[in-house]
Amino acid sequence: MLSWYFVADNVLEEVTFGWPRQRGSFQLKEHLALGLERAINWVGLNGISLDKDPHSLSGGYKRRLALAIQLVQIPDLLILDEPLAGLGMMMHFLIFNPVISWLLLFAHGTSDVPSRELAALVDRSWRMEMGGVLKEEPIAF
């Protein structure tokens, strides 16, 4: 069973954990607020109360919250391990299509060709062979 480690009492505090509280320019706070709004919308959390306890969320919403926490600062590179686990197919496209210019996905499997779900999200695919050798793989659409 997957354990979730949230540090705040509600969704808003969780997503904004670590932000500058008193110090910081107006522009920085405005940038962070816009990042918060985008992240909440990207992952589909805009339908829940930001006052809700993160531990009371369903597994799918906890996964969305974990993604929002990472996306709020709009990183240049996002590295995800098994990002599609626990999310419906529609959420794959809603979350990953507008998010970021560089997204590195890790998926575990034995197939020689990436799954169609992953193929819709990536431009290139590699398989790691024994010994750590990377081999580029065709993408199946």
Annotation says 117 is catalytic: no
Question: From CA 140, how far away is CA 81, in angstroms rounded?
Answer: 20
Structure tokens at 104: 């590195």
Residues 30, 82, 129, 137: which is the catalytic one?
Answer: 82
Cβ neighbourhood burial of 96 (10 Å; 0-12, 13-18, 19+): buried
- 95, containing H or E segment: helix 89-96
Catalytic residues: 82
